[in-house]
């Protein structure tokens, strides 16, 4: 009950407050990781494994210490709620998506390009209005899982250590989990561990997207079965394919990153997404997030009762 209530309250805090404006703990973790990287970096997988163990392991250990320190019902609920709020990013994701749609509707391409790095790592200078809309939509689809569904799932399964550990793993993947010359080997452990951590949450996000797709439910399921496996990521493919099917648009194709250009597989059927589709994606994201919070609360309660009986 402690974990379930704490997760529910933390999700509510994120909905009301969004990300902390100053002193965000995740940003602080990123700063520590960036400072540690030059000390640990070697162009070898083993060095990346050490880097991952030191940082992600410390986050899990911190969560365990905090949980042990606040063992009372009220203390446990409070720290779980704060930890949940800290690691969630769904509300800020939705707000950024709506802001991007507003800029594109107003024809402010410069403003939209300046905002895009808040959503993804693509090179905004190479994108026109349609490219910006597609990049934002694909990012919202993927990050609905990464920023909300996955941390809620791991919070339900493992409490505060699960919340902090998942956010550390996902942050390290965003920092070093690239396939470029510098990180191909050093970032291997971060990328693979993030893939493992998101295997179940991404499919939960896919199921929720299909369930909430209404009359497009069959299209969302068809896009998942047919297209998701073609994506280079075993998890982003599920989130993006089901979102494409739910909205009736086509995602994928030529994708420009700062480290180079990738040709992504086509996901879904229909036209390329426009600004209106971006707004629909934001609404779907918020619906999936709310459904995921409900699932996490129920799952935490079920697991808590089983542990108590054991």
CA distance 303 to 164: 19
Q: Give the pLDDT means over successive 10-residue stretches in the chain (310 positions).
A: 95 92 87 96 97 97 93 91 95 96 94 92 83 93 96 97 97 91 95 97 98 96 95 93 96 68 82 92 97 97 88
According to DSSP, the residues that pair with 257 across neighbouring strands are 122, 260
**pLDDT score, position 128:** 86
**pLDDT score, position 121:** 76
Contacts of residue 118, Cβ cutoff 8 Å, sequence gap at least 6: 96
**pLDDT score, position 41:** 97
CA distance 233 to 73: 40
Number of domains in the chain: 1
**pTM for this model (two decimals):** 0.93
**pLDDT score, position 23:** 77
CA distance 48 to 112: 35
Pairing of strands 260-267, 251-257: antiparallel
**pLDDT score, position 257:** 60
**pLDDT score, position 298:** 97
Return the closest-CA partner of residue 182 out of 57, 55, 48: 48
When computed from its CA atoms, the radius of gyration of the chain, rounded to whole angstroms, is 19
Six-digit token pair at 137? 């939509």
Structural domain boundaries, residue 192 = 2-309
**DSSP letters for the chain:** -HHHHHHHHHHHHHHHH-S-SSS-HHHHHHHHHHHHHHHH--SSHHHHHHHHHHHHHHHHHHHHHHHHH--SHHHHHHHHHHHHHHH--HHHHHHHHHHHHHHHHTT-HHHHHHHGGGT--B-GGG--HHHHHHHHHHHHHHHHIIIIIHHHHHHHHHHHHHHHHHHHHHHHHHHH---STTHHHHTHHHHHHHHHHHHHHHHHHHHHHHHT-GGGHHHHHHHHHHHGGGSSSTTHHHHHHHHHHHHT--EEEEEEETTEEEEEEEESSSSPP-HHHHHHHHHHHHHHHHHHHHHHHHHHHHHHHHHHH-
Token pair 């600004």: residue: 275
């Amino acid at each position: 009950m402690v974990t379930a209530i704490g997760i529910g309250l933390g999700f509510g805090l994120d909905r009301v407050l969004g990300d902390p404006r100053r002193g965000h703990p995740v940003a602080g973790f990123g700063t520590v990781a960036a400072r540690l990287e030059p000390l640990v970096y070697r162009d070898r997988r083993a060095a990346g494994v050490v880097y991952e163990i030191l940082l992600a392991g410390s986050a899990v250990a911190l969560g365990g210490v905090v949980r042990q320190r606040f063992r009372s019902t009220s203390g446990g609920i409070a720290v779980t709620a704060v930890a949940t709020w800290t690691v969630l990013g769904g509300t800020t994701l939705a707000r950024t998506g709506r802001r991007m749609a507003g800029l594109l509707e107003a024809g402010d391409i410069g403003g939209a390009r300046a905002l895009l790095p808040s959503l993804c790592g693509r090179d905004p200078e190479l994108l026109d209005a349609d490219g910006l809309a597609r990049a934002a939509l694909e990012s919202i689809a993927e990050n609905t899982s990464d920023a909300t569904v996955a941390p809620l799932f791991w919070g339900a399964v493992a409490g505060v250590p699960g919340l902090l550990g998942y956010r550390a793993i996902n942050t390290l993947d965003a920092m070093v989990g690239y396939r470029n010359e510098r990180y191909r080997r050093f970032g291997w452990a971060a990328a693979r561990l993030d893939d493992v951590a998101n295997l179940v949450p991404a499919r939960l996000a896919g199921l929720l997207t299909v369930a909430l797709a209404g009359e497009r439910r069959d299209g969302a399921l068809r896009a998942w079965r047919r297209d998701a496996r073609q994506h280079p990521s075993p998890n982003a493919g599920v989130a993006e394919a089901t979102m494409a099917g739910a909205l009736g648009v086509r995602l994928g194709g030529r994708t420009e990153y700062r480290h180079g250009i990738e040709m992504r597989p086509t996901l879904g059927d229909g036209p390329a997404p426009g600004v209106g589709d971006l707004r629909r994606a934001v609404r779907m994201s918020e619906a999936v997030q709310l459904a995921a919070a409900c699932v996490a609360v129920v799952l935490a309660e079920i697991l808590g009762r089983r542990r108590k009986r054991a």
